[in-house]
């Protein structure tokens, strides 16, 4: 390995957001890790995150001749660790030495252990040799024609055989790996893919479903050469759509078939056949071969997939032979000393060989249920439900019942099952769940469905759960309450952004999650509920403090400064300009998602309305009762949010609402700009370039003849602060952060009439650029969250509240803050009550289908 890497020299090997690691540099880092692990051959367990440290640690363990056991981050690996007792735990490149030597007898060929629980839920490891890894990597590289110029992004977990096969096949040929742990629904995923010239993307069926839903077809990816799909059967119609899309855009789709027991791949469908033969798994990979062994049990109704007149030997159980077939299974430490106990792989799939030599899987032996004298193909039942828009998992409960787990309350589910199977309704039990249970690799968790089926019907949804499941339930409840959604819309694979969360609900959500998880991971708003729960389970609470995101802390601090300055408590000006930058930062994070253009614009319009609406309502109230409040009244230009545009500029309240007016018109302008298809495509391809261009335009205006004139600092000409926040959110690496910081410094030079104001604004925005979060006492974090969440209403009402307290300035500030918080709570309760009333009227099947579709928007990790 090391010699191969060094032979590739400075060729890019690993590309991460802030650096590019050449093969020679990677070889040195791998060798250093191997040295740290020592010369004694041992069993090394590694927490397999998708990052450079994990990759270096994994390769270092292989280079040192050790047997490696990757573990899924956040998953409960206690049973695996207790059962196999690894000698070393590796998290990154630093080994945790459990013992000096080893307690294991490791077979000389044993190289890698991959977990596969199958449908029983019992932990079981697949034993793989170096020959398995290298021959499968070479075969994959051959049929995909992977070369030195290829760069694949790590869209699948390293602990999953499919994800590792991408690593092995590309490093084997000297190609590059774009390493990321982000999902395809995260715009930063595509930023990294395009910046580093990605040429391929691997996905499981659900990945492709999400690609369709998040505007993939609209992306211009000039270097993309192919997509690969494995990890389960993808619907033929979706295969056709992607094959046609690839033909139109100049890339190819490879549909593949494999198993952990075969290292990764056993078959592939040549891309030129994908549109014509979307149901086929194709032909064996180079060096492998199939045969079909007769089987007695086949589905009674194959739905036309089998030809009764087919020749003998063209239908049977699919058996694979090749150098990538595993050594065997390991259920305990004693098995690690065994050599090859398996020489061919009985897949358990029932397949057909077509006259052109292609193979098609038509069923599965262990997914055939014998009920009421009928042999039922459970996969076919799931496909029938999926065609009706009802996601489902089907299992035989072993006691004469067919268990069908579904989401939502679609009344057609039972009818679809009975019609597709011929079973009476009394033989079918529907389990209506909030989310379909899945294994960490994204496949259906059949064991969990059987366990739920064993419970009384009334206890299924509210079944007692512990550990990560408890956290999942708490997070789902928090999302439903804060976003005011029905609980069944918040599945385990939902994310804050995917559920339509925005800057208005972000603060409340972050505070709730901080209480639940004790420490929020970076980028939590794009993580799924399951991933958030796993992140909480993978660490213990440390210290008594809490984590507050910098953007949240800045919102709270800035609004306190604004109110204090106006009330005369102290004169620290500049808070509103910091708030403009925070608004731009949140705009980039919550509105520039991977959703289609029309959905983006719709969400931005709703966010704008929730800023403009309360402002207009408050102004209207004050106009009506203005006589009671003395000089604190507004005019029609305030009501229409046009005072900064139309005047009168000498009004005593001319500066009261400037921040809200400017922000609303900036958002309208940004929405109009992004509604242009070409701009939308450009922003998706080059998010930082677009943000930087807007910032440069803002700076050009700022240094123009009107940029610092009278009133310019408090007008639309100050939109460059919004652009600074936008660029800060898009700056994902060191060079870009430095560029944004330079823009901040240049823009502030001489901008304000006070050095102190410029310094305060500069420090605040610099924190937005460089500090993702802050630690503070838990009680303070709660207060910060409450004030930040109420910042809009505090800004609106403080003009009328603080004059009531005369010279009691401290009380004036406190009362303004409390009034804003009270208004926020009241509006939240009104919205919740309105949604509950509306929810009671929405019970049509179409609405439930829409909810299921929305729930499954976010990425389910492969």
pLDDT of residue 271: 96
pLDDT at 387: 82
What are 18-38's pLDDT values in tens digits? 889 999 999 999 999 999 999
Do 322 and 336 form a contact (C-beta atoms < 8 A)?
no
What are the tens digits of pLDDT across the range 99-154? 888 889 999 999 999 987 444 444 689 999 999 999 999 999 999 999 999 999 99
At 303, list the tokens.
Answer: 């739905």
Answer with the one of 696, 729, 751 that is the final residue of a domain. 751
Listed in sequence order, the DSSP H helices in 38-147 are: 52-63, 78-84, 130-144
Distance, in Å, from the CA atom of 555 to the CA atom of 384, rounded to the nearest integer, reads: 50
User: Going by C-beta distance under 8 Å and a sequence separation of 6 or more, which residues neighbour residue 137?
Assistant: 165, 168, 169, 172
pLDDT for 539: 44
Same domain, 428 and 394: yes
**Contact by Cβ (8 Å): 104, 87:** yes
| 23 found inside a domain | no
Tell me which residue of 91, 94, 45 sits closest to 66, measured CA to CA: 45
With a pLDDT cut of 90, the percent of the chain lying above it is 45
Mean pLDDT of 47-61: 93
| pLDDT at residue number 672 | 94
- Contact criterion met (CB below 8 Å) for 164 and 46: no
In 341-486 the beta strands, taken as DSSP E runs, fall at 345-353, 359-364, 368-371, 374-377, 392-396, 402-407, 428-433
What is the extent of the structural domain holding 623? 577-751
Range name among 592-596, 625-629, 722-726, 822-826 with the lowest pLDDT average = 625-629
Q: Residue 393: which CATH number?
A: 3.30.300.30
- pLDDT of 309 reads 37
Q: Which residues of 428-522 form beta strands (DSSP E)?
A: 428-433
pLDDT of residue 218: 83
Q: Which helix H or strand E contains 228, and what residues bound it?
A: strand 226-229
Tens digits of residue pLDDT in 327-368? 999 988 999 999 999 999 998 888 999 998 999 988 777 677
d(CA 855, CA 466): 23
One domain, residues 414 and 521 = no
Answer yes or no: do 535 and 684 share one domain. no
CA-based nearest residue to 41, from 339, 338, 337, 334: 337
Nearest-5° angle of CA 480, CA 485, CA 486? 90
User: In the structure encoding, which two tokens stand for residue 342, read together?
Assistant: 């398996």
385 and 358 in a common domain:
no
Residues in Cβ contact with 285 at an 8 Å cutoff, skipping those fewer than 6 apart: 136, 139, 140, 143, 265, 266, 267, 268, 322, 324
How far is Cα 611 from Cα 661, in angstroms, rounded to an integer?
9
d(C-alpha 862, C-alpha 851), whole Å = 23
Q: Does the structure show a pLDDT above 70 at 847?
A: no
CATH number at residue 848: 1.10.1200.10
Q: Are residues 849 and 711 in the same domain?
A: no
Q: What is the pLDDT of residue 744?
A: 96
What one-character DSSP code corresponds to residue 455?
S
DSSP code of residue 356: T
Q: 481 and 453 share a domain?
A: no
Exposure string for 768-793, b = 16+ CB within 10 A, e = fewer: bbeeebbeeeeeebeebbbbbbbbbb
Is 589 contained in some domain?
yes
Identify which of 595, 562, 779, 768 has the alpha carbon closest to the alpha carbon of residue 674: 595
850 CB-near residues (< 8 Å, 6+ apart): none
Same domain flag for 726 and 599: yes
Which pLDDT score, from 0 to 100, does residue 546 have? 65
Same domain, yes or no: 362 and 430: no
Give the per-residue pLDDT at 307.
42
Claim to verify: residue 633 and residue 581 sit in the same structural domain: yes
Question: Please, what is the average pLDDT of the chain?
Answer: 83
Spatial distance between the Cα atoms of 818 and 809, rounded to a whole number of angstroms: 14
Query: What are residue 14's DSSP bridge partners?
Result: 21, 177
CA 664 to each of CA 251, 641, 716, 761: distance values in angstroms, whole numbers, following the listed order: 41, 8, 10, 21
Instruction: Please report the sign of the dihedral spanned by the C-alpha atoms of residue 489, residue 493, residue 497, residue 502.
Output: positive
**213-250 confidence digits (pLDDT tens):** 777 888 889 999 999 999 888 889 899 999 999 999 99
Count Cα atoms within 13 angstroms, Cβ side, for 709.
Answer: 8
**Residue at which a domain ends, from 459, 486, 507:** 459
Whether residue 171 is found in the same domain as residue 228: yes
Distance in angstroms (rounded) separating the CA atoms of residues 317 and 364: 8
Give residue 181's Cα distance to chain centre: 9
Of 258-272, 291-305, 633-647, which range is least confident? Answer: 291-305
Of the candidates 268, 441, 428, 429, the one whose C-alpha atom is nearest the C-alpha of residue 359 is 268
Per-residue confidence (pLDDT) for residue 846, from 0 to 100: 32
Alpha-helix residue ranges (DSSP H) falling in 647-806? 658-674, 677-685, 687-702, 719-730, 734-748, 755-770, 778-789, 791-801
Q: Which tokens is 100 given?
A: 């000096």
Contact (Cβ atoms closer than 8 angstroms) between residue 184 and residue 859: yes
* Bridge partners for 268 per DSSP: 256, 283
- Which residue among 398, 429, 459 closes a domain? 459
Q: Can you give the pLDDT at residue 373? A: 60
Choose the weakest-confidence range: 273-277, 288-292, 546-550: 546-550
The span from the CA of 476 to the CA of 490, in Å, is: 6
Residues 291 and 317 in one domain: yes
Structural domain total, the chain: 4
Q: Is residue 398 helix, strand or coil?
A: coil
- On the question of pLDDT at 63 being above 80, the answer is yes
DSSP, residue by residue, 523-583: TGGGSBHHHHHHHHHTS---SSEEEEEHHHHHHHHHHHHHHHHHHTS-----HHHHHHHHH
**Phi, psi dihedral angles at 263 (to 5 degrees):** 70, -50
Residue 469 pLDDT > 70:
no
> Cβ–Cβ contacts within 10 Å for residue 632, how many?
17
Q: If you average pLDDT over residues 632-661, what whole number do you get?
A: 83
Res 631: pLDDT = 54
Q: Is residue 597 assigned to a domain?
A: yes
Q: Is the residue at 567 inside a domain?
A: no
Q: Is residue 144 part of a domain?
A: yes
Q: How far is CA 352 from CA 368, 420, 742, in A?
A: 17, 22, 64
Strands of the 67-71 sheet, one edge to the other: 94-97, 88-91, 43-47, 67-71, 110-115, 125-129, 328-330
- Looking at the fold, whether 592 and 730 belong to one and the same domain comes out as yes
Distance CA 497, CA 853 (A): 15
Within a domain: 64? no
Q: Is residue 46 part of a domain?
A: no
* Residue 53 included in any domain: no
Q: Rounded to whole angstroms, what are the CA distances from 112 to 135, 260, 472, 494, 601? A: 14, 11, 31, 33, 48
pTM of the model: 0.56
Lowest mean pLDDT among 210-219, 622-631, 668-677, 801-810: 622-631
Residue 24 CA, chain-centre distance (Å), reads 32
């Amino acid at each position: 390995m090391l010699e191969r890497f060094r032979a590739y020299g400075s060729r890019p090997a690993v590309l991460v957001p802030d650096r590019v690691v050449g093969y020679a540099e990677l070889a040195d880092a791998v060798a250093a890790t191997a040295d740290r692990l020592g010369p004694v051959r041992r069993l090394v367990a590694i927490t397999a995150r998708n990052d450079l440290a994990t990759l270096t640690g994994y390769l270092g363990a292989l280079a040192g001749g050790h047997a490696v056991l990757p573990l899924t981050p956040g998953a409960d690996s206690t049973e695996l660790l207790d059962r196999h007792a690894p000698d070393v735990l590796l998290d990154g490149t630093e080994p945790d030495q459990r013992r000096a030597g080893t307690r294991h007898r490791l077979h000389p060929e044993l190289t890698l252990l991959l977990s596969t629980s199958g449908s029983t839920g019992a932990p079981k490891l697949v034993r793989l040799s170096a020959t398995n890894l290298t021959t499968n990597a070479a075969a994959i590289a051959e049929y995909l024609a992977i070369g030195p110029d290829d760069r694949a992004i790590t869209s699948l977990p390293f602990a999953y055989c499919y994800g590792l096969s991408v690593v092995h096949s590309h490093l084997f040929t000297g190609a590059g790996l774009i390493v990321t742990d982000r999902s395809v629904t995260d715009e930063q995923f595509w930023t990294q893919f395009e910046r580093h010239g990605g040429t391929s993307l691997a996905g499981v069926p659900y990945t492709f479903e999400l690609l369709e839903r998040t505007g993939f077809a609209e992306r211009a990816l000039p270097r993309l050469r192919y997509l690969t799909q494995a990890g389960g059967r993808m619907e033929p119609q979706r295969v056709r759509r992607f094959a046609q899309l690839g033909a139109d855009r100049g890339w190819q789709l490879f549909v593949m078939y494999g198993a952990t027991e075969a290292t990764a791949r056993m078959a592939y469908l040549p891309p030129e056949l994908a549109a014509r033969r979307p149901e086929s798994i194709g032909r064996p990979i180079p060096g492998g071969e199939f045969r079909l062994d007769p089987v007695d049990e086949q589905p009674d109704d194959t739905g036309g997939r089998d030809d009764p007149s087919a020749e003998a030997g063209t239908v049977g159980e699919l058996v694979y032979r090749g150098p990538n077939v595993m050594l065997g299974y390991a259920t305990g430490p004693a098995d690690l000393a065994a050599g090859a106990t398996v020489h061919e792989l009985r897949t358990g799939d029932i397949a057909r060989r077509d006259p052109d030599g292609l193979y098609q899987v038509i069923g599965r032996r262990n997914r055939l249920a014998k009920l009421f004298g009928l042999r039922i193909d459970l996969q076919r039942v799931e496909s029938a439900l999926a065609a009706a828009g009802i996601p489902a998992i089907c299992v035989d409960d072993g006691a004469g019942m067919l268990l069908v787990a579904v989401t939502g309350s679609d009344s057609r589910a039972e009818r679809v099952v009975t019609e597709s199977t011929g079973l009476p309704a009394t033989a079918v039990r529907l389990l209506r769940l909030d989310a379909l249970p899945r294994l960490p690799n994204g496949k259906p968790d059949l064991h969990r469905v059987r366990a739920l089926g064993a419970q009384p019907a009334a206890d299924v949804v509210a079944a007692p759960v512990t550990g990560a499941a408890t956290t999942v339930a708490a997070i789902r409840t928090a999302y439903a309450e804060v976003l005011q959604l029905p609980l069944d819309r918040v599945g385990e694979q939902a994310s804050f952004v995917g559920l339509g969360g925005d800057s208005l609900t972000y603060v409340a959500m972050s505070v709730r999650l901080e209480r639940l998880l004790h420490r929020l991971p970076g980028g939590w708003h794009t993580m799924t509920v399951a991933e958030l729960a796993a992140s909480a389970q993978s660490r213990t609470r440390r210290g008594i403090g809490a984590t507050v995101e910098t953007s949240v802390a800045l919102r709270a601090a800035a609004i306190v400064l604004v109110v204090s300055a106006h009330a005369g408590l102290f004169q620290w000006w500049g808070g509103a300009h910091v708030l403009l930058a925070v608004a731009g930062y949140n705009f980039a994070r919550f509105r520039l998602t991977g959703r289609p253009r029309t959905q983006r614009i719709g969400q931005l319009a709703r966010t704008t309305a929730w800023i403009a609406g309360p402002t207009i309502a408050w102004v209207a109230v004050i106009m009506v009762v203005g006589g009671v409040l003395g000089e604190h009244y507004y005019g029609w230009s305030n009501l229409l949010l046009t005072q900064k545009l139309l005047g009168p500029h000498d009004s005593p309240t001319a500066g009261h609402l400037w921040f809200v007016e400017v922000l609303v018109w900036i958002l309208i302008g940004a929405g109009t700009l992004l509604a242009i298809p070409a701009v939308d495509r450009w922003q998706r391809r080059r998010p930082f370039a677009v943000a930087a261009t807007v910032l440069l335009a803002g700076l050009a205006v700022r240094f123009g003849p009107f940029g610092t004139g009278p009133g310019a600092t408090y007008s639309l000409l100050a939109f460059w602060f919004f652009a600074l926040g936008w660029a800060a959110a898009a700056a994902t690496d060191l060079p870009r952060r430095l560029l944004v910081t330079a823009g901040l410094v240049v823009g502030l030079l001489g901008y304000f009439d006070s050095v102190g104001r410029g310094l305060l604004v500069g420090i605040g925005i610099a924190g937005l650029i460089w500090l993702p979060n802050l630690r503070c006492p838990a009680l303070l974090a709660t207060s910060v969250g409450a004030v930040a969440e109420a910042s809009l209403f505090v800004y609106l009402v403080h003009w009328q509240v603080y004059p009531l307290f005369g010279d009691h300035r401290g009380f004036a500030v406190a009362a303004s803050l409390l009034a804003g918080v009270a208004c926020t709570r009241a509006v939240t309760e009104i919205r919740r009550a309105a949604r509950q009333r509306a929810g009671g009227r929405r019970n049509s099947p179409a609405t439930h289908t829409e909810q299921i579709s929305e729930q499954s928007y976010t990425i389910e990790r492969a």
